[in-house]
Chain A
């Protein structure tokens, strides 16, 4: 029972991720109208569109103005994540999150603490990749990341058939497992980088209360973006970094009531 209580947000996230997928799959197979299309552009309840703002920006860089439906859809998504969600797309929607979370879990089981990362790259790499993606889009004239994105390959694959795309997904999994911990989501993914920038000033932030903290370090153990927890054990305040995926895993594992979701106070710590 305690285990379930300690996985509240994890369970909520999985339910949200899987139901979004299920609605998309249902739309393609049984013709449901709740959520049609895919994460690139989805039509909601057959009335309005939601679109991936990063994809639209790449297409803009490639020199094309897409239809008004897609642009309005992208603005709605952008507003939602910049005001409320922050980087929650990564932890609550993105299907690759399930793959990389599994890889991180398997890594803990299989690899000893002494096994270091084979490759060490900066977590800032993703911002460079984000920049390159726009330059490459401008030069090649197509949305560059959409041509190689494992997120789209997996998501589209689940809805429309994946072909040999599963090899790419397995590659991401094994890379996370064997080469570098949290390699894809934490170091490389430009979509995650995009939402980190967009969601920097959202309303909802994790709040730390240092008086309750027993320095058990459980939160550091589970956090996919450990560097954002810099204030934990040191001072009270909010986790301000845009890289926080708002996954709530730290809140789940904290037995000391030291971490919880709160409204952003827009003050410096």
Chain B
């Protein structure tokens, strides 16, 4: 039977060991978690939630008919064992029946995020085109289309041709009689399948896919943009009715301002 003194010493010692081990372990995990640039399968939920929920069973990898999806191994700079893909090697081929998402047992891949209500029948259908695996970015410094070469490999490869990537004609002032045919990505339509990155004829691709969260900005709630529907207009009215913020000041009685 140890004395109380011995017991306290032992307790302190073992909690010291535990803290050391835990700190090292946690640091290691944060290091691998920090690699934001990993592309996840379609339907993957937000990055931190995804890493929480993915149990690394490989069901999506087994379901993928094109060997696009892989589980990260030790040398990959991604969370060990979680599914990802490298579009330059094999892009996502955007299967219409999305075989990789339903097998997920934990909900890390969310089928609901890929469901769209059919306007005619009113039924919910899977639609791979609303997946957001990433967004394509073009390096204008190396893309030969910006040098005047008529390359539209990425444009042609895009499964949403003319929606996610379109080409823009610009007069080539160097020659005065030719045109540039410049690829432009529409970020809100791009699914991040990576067909463009796969197709790029450059030695190292001039168009790359990066995760949405890394690339896309966010407007603050106080920016009220015009939209096709009247929803925003309603929002504006609501805000004018309710808020006491900057809008009230701007919409306030102008005579008050003169008094000051």
> Interface residues, chain A, CB within 8 Å of chain B?
27-28, 31, 36-38, 40-43, 49, 51-52, 55-56, 59, 62-64, 66-67, 69-70, 73, 128-129, 131-133, 135-136, 139-144, 146-148, 152-153, 156-157, 159-165, 167-168
Contact = CB atoms under 8 A, between A and B. Distances in A.
Nearest to B61: A160
A148 B28 contact: yes
Interface string B32-64: 110000000000000011011101111101100
Contacts of A148: 25, 28-29, 80
B148 interface: no
Given A161-B73, A165-B74, A156 B33 contact: no
Contact of A66 (B51, B59, B74, B107): B107
B79 A142 contact: yes
A65 to B, nearest CB: 9
Contacts of B26: 136, 139-140, 144
Q: Which 7 A-B pairs give the minimum distances between C-beta atoms?
A: A163-B73, A41-B57, A64-B52, A66-B106, A67-B107, A69-B105, A37-B57
25 contacts: A27-B62, A37-B59, A37-B105, A41-B57, A41-B59, A43-B59, A51-B105, A56-B55, A59-B52, A63-B52, A67-B53, A69-B105, A70-B55, A70-B106, A131-B18, A132-B18, A132-B22, A136-B26, A136-B29, A142-B52, A146-B55, A146-B80, A148-B25, A163-B74, A164-B75
A163 to B, nearest CB: 3
Contacts of A55: 55
Interface of B: 14, 17-18, 21-22, 25-26, 28-30, 32-33, 48-49, 51-53, 55-59, 61-62, 70-71, 73-76, 79-81, 103-107
A76 B70 CA distance: 28
B52 A62 contact: yes
Given A41-B57, A146-B56, A160-B58, 14 more contacts: A36-B62, A42-B57, A49-B105, A52-B55, A69-B105, A131-B18, A133-B25, A143-B55, A144-B29, A152-B56, A153-B80, A156-B81, A164-B74, A165-B73
B62 A28 contact: yes
Contact of B106 (A36, A67, A147): A67
A199 to B, nearest CB: 22
B74 A59 contact: no
A59 to B, nearest CB: 6
